[in-house]
Structure 1
Amino acid sequence: MATISKTSSPDRDYTAEARYYDPANAFDFRWPRVPRRQFLAERDRAFDAGTPTALIPLDASDALATPYPATTPSLLAQYVRLRRGESLACTQRASGEVYLVMHGAGRSRSGADTVAWSEGDLFCFAAGQETLHAAADEDSLLFCVSDAPLVAFQGLAPSDPGDSMIETVHWPADQIDRHLATVYTRERTENEAGRAVLFSSRALAPARNILPMMVAAINTLEAGGDQRPHRHNGVAITLALQGEGVYS
């Protein structure tokens, strides 16, 4: 990402911008707490057959005290609702944008790259330029997550096309299912944290991330099973795809 440059004057008094703090406890500082929120109204709107083609953000900026939409301090999640045969163009000020196809089929284009998708697929683009989503012959629903809040917080701009470390990547549903099947056949051990498949790319493989500051995984539980207690070092956005009687 490129920084947003500002012009300066040789006559400017730069000491006027300085601030000093000398508290008794330098660690007595708190960011707003990240709320536990289910976004049920947004979910219901996204699944309502009468909802027009639209972006539906999961916005917690009221609790996070940010001047921009945010689901967590560093991530923004949105439903992308597409009516049959319709399209939607959007541009996100982010390093990358990740999409899970919850229902339907269609195509998405960013720059010179086009991904043909169907239910269960996962794909991502580098952000910063227009992305055009088009549904085929049925209503479609995508779930999108980007790091737009992180980019906005740092006052940055997306990389120019071709300069981003984020590549266009497509993880088809059948390949995801194949890897999940491998997880199920693996012998369980005491060190197993869960039954999951993580998604990454050639460029980000060393960190196993899907975006530079974002991990994406599909997690599964057998009927009657549970996942051992664990702690996240970052905020988790959980999207329930299937199952009843499941809780966290």
Structure 2
Amino acid sequence: MTMSIHAERARYIPVEQGFNIERPVLAPQAFVAEMRRTFADETPTGFVALDLSLILGTVYAATTPFMLARYARVRTGERLACALAASGEIWAVLRGTGTLARDGETLRWRAGDMLALPGGIASTWQADEDAVLWLVTDEPALAFQGVRPEAAERAPVQATHYRAEDIARELRVLYDRPMAPDTPGRALFMASERTERLCTCLPAMTLTLNAVRPGEAQRPHRHNAAALVLALREARCASTIGGATYRWTEHVTLLTPAGAAHDHRNAPVTEGSAVTDDDIALALIVQDGGLYYYGRTMGFSFADAGQR
């Protein structure tokens, strides 16, 4: 019998080989050089990707197997155009003001704002004053599967704007919220009209604001989701991730690999001193957690459970 080209493509793999797949280990790290390059005076308008594709062994840019993070610089009066092959995009404005034009709509943004946007739509970011933004997408997840974003009318989210003034109001409540011993952290989940029931920002990705008051420590824990931690306010905070300690530095991104035990702890203020907002550490955290929530495989556990 003549074998067709379709039959020639078939491969048969022994079960022991299929259940013992080895992947390169993704280690915790801080993307200091990328942050400095983005904020440097001479840096032109464009993206600075936090790309670990050489470690991950992918032919496409990726920070984790499912997420890609970037910094974006938009110089005064200039425009940054993009159309990202993602199901959705999470943006945070670190500096500057400007406008976003996409899909026939225009939105004004400023430092402190955050946005959740459907992916695959041509966008133009124009800066009124020198701007730096941070964004995370699920481009690697789509690239791995060889799929493209849905049409705009079927996108999992609509353009959602988290305004700086609204965030500030919510943070005031977060800072004073009582903490129980088993509370995972002092955190605020950001969602949208379409994802509120999922408790995620995008269906596959979570966006949280995490605060650590002086003298407070987020209990060591681990989860199946990888996390990208962007320090917004350092205070005296540090994270221990997989046994390595990283001091928080404003606008530096930390990578917490999937399953790595980690904590966040903020040193106390001088005895007798009043606590101000500057003493409260604040970070923006994006995880691919929505995938695990939906798959019923969150894998959350406290890493010090046997020590308490």
TM-score by length of 1: 0.91
The CA distance in 2 between the partners of 1:54 and 1:99, in whole Å, is: 15
In the alignment, which residue of structure 1 is the partner of 2:38?
46
Runs (4+) of structure 1 moved beyond 6 Å?
A: none
The CA distance in 2 between the partners of 1:110 and 1:124, in whole Å, is: 13
Question: Does the CA contact (< 8 Å) of 2:175 and 2:211 recur in 1?
Answer: no
Question: Does the CA contact (< 8 Å) of 1:106 and 1:133 recur in 2?
Answer: yes
The CA distance in 1 between the partners of 2:16 and 2:184, in whole Å, is: 41
Question: Structure 1 24/91 Cα, relative in aligned 2: closer, same or farther at 3 Å?
Answer: closer
Question: Structure 1 188/23 Cα, relative in aligned 2: closer, same or farther at 3 Å?
Answer: closer
The CA distance in 2 between the partners of 1:109 and 1:12, in whole Å, is: 50
Q: How many angstroms does 1:30 deviate by? A: 2.1
The CA distance in 1 between the partners of 2:156 and 2:146, in whole Å, is: 19
Q: How many angstroms does 1:176 deviate by? A: 1.1
Amino acid of the structure 1 residue aligned with 2:163: P
Question: What per-residue deviation string (whole Å, max 9, x for no partner) do you get for residues 100-136 of structure 1?
Answer: 0111111112212322111111012211121100111
Unpaired segments ≥5 residues, structure 2: 240-308
Are residues 1:149 and 2:140 paired?
yes
Q: How many angstroms does 1:26 deviate by? A: 4.4
Q: 1:116 aligns with which of 108, 111, 116?
A: 108
Are residues 1:193 and 2:193 paired?
no
The CA distance in 1 between the partners of 2:4 and 2:87, in whole Å, is: 33
The CA distance in 2 between the partners of 1:100 and 1:235, in whole Å, is: 19
**1:231-242 superposed matches below 5 A:** 231-242=222-233
Q: How many angstroms does 1:187 deviate by? A: 2.0
Amino acid of the structure 2 residue aligned with 1:77: A
The sequence identity of aligned pairs, in percent, is 36
Question: What per-residue deviation string (whole Å, max 9, x for no partner) do you get for residues 22-42 of structure 1?
Answer: 144642112222232212111
Question: Does the CA contact (< 8 Å) of 1:113 and 1:168 recur in 2?
Answer: no
The CA distance in 2 between the partners of 1:124 and 1:201, in whole Å, is: 8
Question: What per-residue deviation string (whole Å, max 9, x for no partner) do you get for residues 168-218 of structure 1?
Answer: 000111111211211222222122111111111111112111122111101
Unpaired segments ≥5 residues, structure 1: 1-10
In the alignment, which residue of structure 1 is the partner of 2:27?
35
Question: Does the CA contact (< 8 Å) of 1:180 and 1:196 recur in 2?
Answer: no
The CA distance in 2 between the partners of 1:161 and 1:24, in whole Å, is: 43
Q: 2:78 aligns with which of 80, 86, 100?
A: 86
Are residues 1:65 and 2:57 paired?
yes
The CA distance in 2 between the partners of 1:204 and 1:34, in whole Å, is: 29
In the alignment, which residue of structure 2 is the partner of 1:21?
13
Question: Does the CA contact (< 8 Å) of 2:72 and 2:133 recur in 1?
Answer: yes
The CA distance in 1 between the partners of 2:92 and 2:177, in whole Å, is: 26
Question: Structure 1 191/22 Cα, relative in aligned 2: closer, same or farther at 3 Å?
Answer: same
Q: 1:230 aligns with which of 217, 221, 233?
A: 221
TM-score by length of 2: 0.73
Question: Does the CA contact (< 8 Å) of 1:101 and 1:141 recur in 2?
Answer: yes
